[in-house]
Amino acid sequence: MAKYRVSPIAKLSVPMPEITTKPRTKVKPQTERPKLYKVILINDDFTPREFVVTVLKGEFKLSEDQAHRIMITAHRRGVCVVAVFTKDVAETKATRATDAGKAKGYPLLFTTEPEE
């Protein structure tokens, strides 16, 4: 009667390492916020104050009072942030507002710059 032999595979088998996994605590936000851009009003010596106010009200949907404050700030300090928007909207509004001045022969200028 043949004796059983221990299989060479069984002799070589090693215990499975115990793998522990740490649950993830930090999760990536599902929706990234779009970068915002400031529309900036630049002062000049020629555009009439009332025209600047009219453009601000028309293009940026500001009240008479808000538009007047922004115009006066740019007039006194040289520049004033009008509002912040996504890049496309900021650039479109700055261009349209600048073109409104150009159409009347004024050097009125609106620029855009990214928020920190």
- Whole-number minimum distance, CB 42 to ligand TYC, in Å? 6
Q: Residue 90: phi, psi to the nearest 5?
A: -60, -45
Q: Is 100 in the site for ligand TYC (CB under 6 A)?
A: no
**Among residue numbers 25 through 64, which ones bind ligand TYC (CB under 6 A)?**
41-45, 47-49, 52
Residue 85's H or E segment, with its range, is: strand 79-86
Distance (Å, whole) CA 15 – CA 115: 57
Q: Is 98 in the site for ligand TYC (CB under 6 A)?
A: no
**What is the contact surface with ligand TYC in residues (CB under 6 A)?**
41-45, 47-49, 52, 71, 74-75, 108
